[in-house]
Amino acid sequence: MQINGNTILITGGTSGIGLAFAEEFMKHGNTVIITGRRQDRLDAIQARIPGIVVKNSDIADAAQREELVNWVYSNYPSTNVLINNAGVQLAMDLSQPVDPARVYAEINTNLVGPIHLGSLFAPHLAGLQNPVIINVTSGLAWIPAAFMPVYCATKAAMHSFTLSQRWQLRNTNIQVIEIAPPSVDTELGHDRREDKTQSHGGIPIAEFIKEAMAALINGELEAPIGDAKNLRAKGETIFEAFNSRF
């Protein structure tokens, strides 16, 4: 992937991996647009990072996805990189009746949103130079953490979808890349923590970004980062040992 001179749209860009990617890509001379649902966060980021572009948008909502794409076409037609990063991570007890609203929240944000958004952007991207779609999945796509089964299932589905998307777009100039993080020290999963200011745990965000950017520069189409490499390599053989830690 060419890492400079792009116009990049990052969903879920107000914290964690999305914001870290935004800051890193801006250092390399890119125009960066981030989306998020909380206007106060968008305003604070725009005040702190001169030049960053912000757009209030809920990726889980189909109408807002379509409005976002139309807004990008109208205001930033040179947008040639889409990073599907927005995600929701919820714990779920499958021994009890589940709340369908929580199930749909994860599926719509983590799976339906990126599928729809990628399809909306594909015709536009195909007419540009160096177009890229980056899907942020997870090491949990290969080894699920059983206490958050829907999140892991959506990431497994996104891994499978990315393979299909890359194959279907193989005769276009659109590059399709999968970045699979390990556990990264962000606020992801705050829903299940009593202290909402507590972070996720895992590797420092700077360490993740350094390795992820190196993978992009090296042209890797599937890039498990850090411990996610081990999960990718060993697959279901370590499922029981992995989950015994929780």
Catalytic residues: 151
Residue 167 burial by Cβ neighbours in a 10 Å radius (0-12, 13-18, 19+): exposed
Residue ranges of alpha helices (H) inside the chain are: 16-27, 39-48, 62-75, 100-107, 113-125, 149-168, 205-217, 228-234, 239-243
Cβ neighbors of 128 (< 8 A, separation 6 or more) are 78, 79, 80
State the amino acid at position 239 in one-letter form.
F
31 half-sphere exposure, CB direction, 13 A CA radius: 10
Tell me which DSSP letter residue 111 carries: I
* Residue 177, H or E segment: strand 175-180
Sheet containing 81-84: give its strands across: 53-56, 31-36, 7-10, 81-84, 132-136, 175-180, 222-224
The C-alpha angle 194, 203, 8, rounded to 5 degrees, equals 95
Token digits for 117? 């958004």
